[in-house]
Chain A
């Protein structure tokens, strides 16, 4: 199946080359200059962007959302955990063209085995490096505890991260690579008092291939903290490594709205295979998400004359 996927990826890359041959212009929002905030800018012009995105699916990129722009994104899956809507979201506010404040769900594998995002609050900075060097983004995410209840035991999971991520880009193709240093903690409370903490180095990577002026093929693979504990057991909980992968597309339906869809899978790092074997595609999930950009600074400038350039 991996061979099949590799073949398809090769086909898609070739399709990208074909698109370039056709003369299709591949937009690179990340390089375009932001819209000037002036009083006479029309609403249509304001929402035309460009609006660079600061993430692939769960992985941050070396870019930040522009100054005076807010990005709200969410994705969800009903299929991963039956009967439960697992969802993740990011709220990011850009400032100063090089930084953004954010509230997001960072990826982690919960003790029930699902990719259950853990909430974090943080800041992401794009280092002002010379153009000759690849961009470098540094993100700090302070973990907000997430509590799950199993019988008379509460399980509290917290993940705090420092991310360093860089990007290489050729025409219509981008490669992202990064390292996530994660401090993961699991605590059992009420019926039993146990805690375990571990520091993890988690490499992460991803790619984007522009298929046409508005759609990109996106894939990411990353290691994530994996919490393990058997409810009812007196054994200490454990924190290990899990691998998460996603393959799908991001489509800029409008300059300020991005839709994304993807197929996701999980691998157990110890066996380098899905927990229930490579044939267990019934454990895969489909996620659908959206990212909306709100240029609040330009809107405020147009409406009240504040935050103008």
Chain B
């Protein structure tokens, strides 16, 4: 009897263990596939004459409707050549991020967001703004990080008529920067036009209206003037309106499908805190950059090149070799479209 009980207990235990195991990935005899596609959504319940809802007989084996073909994504034209803005805007809800390193120890980043296909907002750090202490200080050093916010508004290429360049009106302004006891700010209003002349060649040209301010103790104490005070000078006070305007531009050549050669000339402010003449305290210096952009994937681009500040002096000693990585993402756009 005992033996029978032991056998029964063993059989029950083995059965229990067997039930606890997962079902093997084998098609059941006469059954369905193991990876069954989800059933189609229930059709709308029909309504009878007396107003009651009736559940219709749903066909669980009805074929799924074919998936909607995904819209091909339009190309993203970059909002900057290398250092200067372009006349192209990011598409709506597209995110853009760029991080840059250079041999001078500069690290900058730029994050932007496309607004409704007509505008773009961004926050960035730049190392283009430079400082000198006085007239004897011949070598300008960079102030970094210098945080700026930008807002650009415009019309995309070929919007009005065939051949119309992309046009943007942009405003960039910095947060106040306190460095070496001096407070500085910069602002730039730009109007840029960009045109793909051929599929492999694009031109960018624009005008910038610059302004900057500097506040601090800028004067040396002398016997005649023993008490020096903080004061503020600004570009708009020192210069004529025309002196605040600068022309900038760039070229973009794409010899290979995924590689472009880029050249641009822009401007950057330079502060001289204790220069003897106020007109010399804030100046705009030309910057030449050239380099290559390689499209690693649809969403990532690698750029490398050379940037020469003070190109008017042909000062190659201060040139920096830089590398930058930029990402673009349609993820938010897809999320927004799915919510719609």
Contacts and interface: CB of A to CB of B under 8 A. Distances in A.
Interface of A: 1, 4-5, 8, 11-12, 14-15, 18-19, 78-79, 82-83, 211-212, 214-215, 217, 247-249, 251-255, 259, 261-263, 276-282, 284-286, 288
Contacts of A251: 92, 115-116, 118-119
Interface stretch (B30-38, B146-154, B247-255): B146-154
B235 A279 contact: yes
B330 interface: no
Contacts of B92: 214-215, 251, 253
B118 A217 contact: yes
Nearest to B243: A279
Nearest to A260: B115
Contacts of A19: 159
A299 B236 CA distance: 54
Contact of B191 (A4, A14, A78, A282): A4
Given A78-B149, A79-B149, A288-B121, A282 B115 contact: no
B336 interface: yes
Given A259-B115, A282-B173, A288-B121, A248 B236 contact: no
A217 B153 contact: yes
A78 B159 contact: no
Given A282-B187, A286-B151, A14 B160 contact: yes
Interface string B162-193: 00000101010101100000000111110100
Contact of A263 (B151, B155, B235): B151
B209 interface: yes
A18 B93 CA distance: 22
Contacts of A1: 189, 209
Interface of B: 92-93, 115-119, 121, 149-151, 153-155, 159-161, 167, 169, 171, 173, 175-176, 185-189, 191, 209, 211-213, 234-237, 239, 241, 244, 336, 339-340
Contact of B173 (A4, A217, A254, A286): A286
Most chain A CB neighbours (cut-off 10 Å) among B173, B191, B235, B340: B173
A286 B171 contact: yes
Nearest to A21: B160
28 contacts: A4-B191, A5-B169, A8-B167, A11-B160, A15-B159, A18-B160, A18-B161, A82-B176, A212-B118, A215-B116, A217-B118, A247-B153, A248-B153, A249-B115, A249-B116, A251-B115, A251-B118, A251-B119, A263-B153, A279-B236, A279-B241, A279-B244, A280-B234, A281-B189, A281-B236, A282-B186, A284-B187, A286-B151
Nearest to B176: A82
Contacts of B149: 78-79, 286
B336 A215 contact: no
Given A1-B189, A280-B234, A82 B175 contact: yes
Contacts of B151: 248, 261-263, 286, 288
Contacts of A15: 155, 159-160
Nearest to A249: B119
Nearest to A211: B118
Contacts of A5: 169
A214 B236 contact: no
A253 B336 contact: yes
Contacts of B93: 253
A14 B149 CA distance: 29
Given A18-B159, A214-B116, A286 B176 contact: no
A261 B121 contact: yes
Given A15-B160, A279-B211, 20 more contacts: A4-B169, A8-B153, A8-B154, A15-B155, A19-B159, A79-B149, A79-B173, A82-B185, A212-B117, A215-B119, A247-B153, A249-B116, A251-B92, A253-B93, A261-B115, A261-B119, A279-B209, A279-B241, A282-B212, A286-B150
A305 B235 CA distance: 64
A11 B115 contact: no
B159 A285 contact: no
Contact of B176 (A83, A276, A281): A83
Nearest to B155: A15
A4 B236 CA distance: 19
Most chain B CB neighbours (cut-off 10 Å) among A251, A255, A282: A282
B260 to A, nearest CB: 27
A286 B188 CA distance: 12
A147 to B, nearest CB: 25
Contacts of B213: 282
B340 A254 contact: yes
Contact of A284 (B121, B173, B237): B173
Nearest to A215: B116
A81 B28 CA distance: 72
A9 B271 CA distance: 34
Contacts of B239: 279
Nearest to A252: B116
